[in-house]
Amino acid sequence: MRIVINGIGIAGPALAHWLAKSGHDVLLVEAAPSLRTAGYVVDFWGIGYDIVERMGLIDEIRALGYQVREVRIVDRNGRKKGGFDVDVFRRMTRGRFTTVRRSDISATMYRAIQGEVETIFGDSVASIDDHGDGVRVGFDHAAEREVDLVVGADGLHSRVRPLVFGPESDVETSLGYHVVAFEAGGHRPRDELVFVSHSLPGRQISRFSMRDDRTLFLFIFRDEYMDSATEEPKAVVSRVFRGAGWEWPKIEAELERATDIYFDRVSQIRMRRWTRGRTALVGDAAACVSLMAGEGTGLAIAEAYVLAGELHACRGDFATAFGRYEQRLMPFLAKKQQSATKFAASFAPKTPLGVQFRNQVTQLMRLPFVADLVIGRALRDDIVLPQYRLPSR
Ligand SMILES: Cc1cc2nc3c(=O)[nH]c(=O)nc-3n(C[C@H](O)[C@H](O)[C@H](O)COP(=O)(O)OP(=O)(O)OC[C@H]3O[C@@H](n4cnc5c(N)ncnc54)[C@H](O)[C@@H]3O)c2cc1C
């Protein structure tokens, strides 16, 4: 089949990988002018990890990743107030866990299919005319094409989704936070392999020291701190974290210099169907679990694998394949969303006492039964994926 995939993030290249290996004719379209190289880091484990291993790419991804040792929570004077040894995650995942730049996972998967898949950067699917026997796809720049299927792998704010399934406002559920992330070079101090966070009521700043003397900064704050939806990220962060103590003056100076800033609502996409006619959604476009799940990347890869696997197993009967794709994964994703929503409720407590209590709980994570109680359910993937007979490399 001729299949257009909109978006080269995580789900897009993962799906293109399996579809191309199965002999489909794939066109990947990405709005950005090239693959992104920076961005935030993600924790990576679970079914997504297993699938990337099947793709033959896990060693490469682990080599690019960080084996984080500690999550450390500090007060306004930099004194340790909470946190835990990340060995607890490694124990629970039997060492199948790494922390890696989202863009490195994306680039690794893309590199593995480069040359086998046609790619257009700096463009987007702009119209979808499903006429039953096929789909006429329009783009912002490229000429129209007649294809068999269209897949929206274009993230939380998908453009394919509203073209076929209706407005974003109908399917987006806010978890009550905003997030800002950016990288800086040469920042001091550094703490190798330690994720350091400073929590304030309703707000949290974190920094993570990366290779090549880069540091990632991550800010999460409750929606109450937003003045207006149109405020610029630099202005928001400066206002929300003013007087935060710890390393704030230095971090604010890095923020001033930053040129590539990620800024968004923390929300989920909850849909009744991920497919309609000849269009399917995958990854965040279909079922964003949000950063509160800490697993969106792996889940996007799993969705891509199942969609490609079902298309392969159903031998061109895309309607049956789409139905099975939804049946297999929708209940599982709904549970992941529920557990992320619960976690979000306690993520940034609103009062100093709440922050203190949360910090103490994190220190108890060294006890296996507490760790299991707090994150066990979120870490477990209660699903067995079919072993599709998909060629891997
Ligand atoms: C701060 C933060 C921390 C996170 N932490 C974790 C974590 O620890 N673990 C984890 O597993 N997940 C984490 N996630 C979630 C994870 O990043 C996502 O779930 C994952 O990236 C989803 O992949 P995707 O391919 O569906 O979407 P994306 O990765 O968002 O990729 C979508 C792609 O589509 C492109 N695109 C957008 N619009 C268009 C258009 N109109 N036309 C063409 N292309 C378009 C984008 O440029 C992008 O390349 C985190 C997310 C955030 C924001």
Each residue's pLDDT tens digit in the chain (393 positions)? 999 999 999 999 999 999 999 999 999 999 999 998 888 999 999 999 999 999 999 999 999 999 999 999 999 999 999 999 998 888 889 999 999 999 999 999 999 999 999 999 999 999 999 999 999 999 999 999 999 999 999 999 999 999 999 999 999 999 999 999 999 999 999 999 999 999 999 999 999 999 999 999 999 999 999 988 888 999 999 999 999 999 999 999 999 999 999 999 999 999 999 999 999 999 999 999 999 999 999 999 999 999 999 999 999 899 999 999 999 999 999 999 999 999 999 899 999 999 999 999 899 888 888 888 877 777 889 999 999 988 755
Q: For ligand 1, is residue 236 a contact (CB within 6 Å)?
A: no
Q: What is the pLDDT of residue 100?
A: 98
* pTM greater than 0.85: yes
Of 3, 9, 2, 10, give the one whose Cα is nearest residue 31.
9
Best mutation site among 297, 303, 305, 337 for ligand 1 pocket (most ligand atoms within 8 Å of CB): 297
Best mutation site among 15, 27, 42 for ligand 1 pocket (most ligand atoms within 8 Å of CB): 42
**Burial state string for 82-95 with b = 16 or more CB within 10 A and e = fewer than 16:** bbbebebbbebbee
HSE-CB of 117 using CA atoms within 13 angstroms: 32
Integer-rounded Cα Rg, in Å, for the chain is: 21
CA dihedral 73, 235, 223, 163 (to 10 degrees): -120
Q: What is the pLDDT of residue 392?
A: 59
Q: For ligand 1, is residue 300 a contact (CB within 6 Å)?
A: yes
Q: What is the pLDDT of residue 380?
A: 87
Which sign, positive or negative, has the C-alpha torsion 285, 287, 292, 293? negative
Instruction: Find the 266 Cα to ligand 1 centroid distance in Å.
Output: 12
User: Is residue 9 within 8 Å of residue 36, measured between CB atoms?
Assistant: no
Q: What is the pLDDT of residue 370?
A: 83
Instruction: Find the 155 Cα to ligand 1 centroid distance in Å.
Output: 5
Angstrom distances, CA of residue 90 to CA of 87, 291, 302: 5, 19, 21
Q: What is the pLDDT of residue 89?
A: 86
Q: For ligand 1, is residue 26 a contact (CB within 6 Å)?
A: no
Q: For ligand 1, is residue 71 a contact (CB within 6 Å)?
A: no
Nearest CA to ligand 1 atom 53: 291
Helices 233-241, 248-257: inter-axial angle, 10-degree rounding: 170
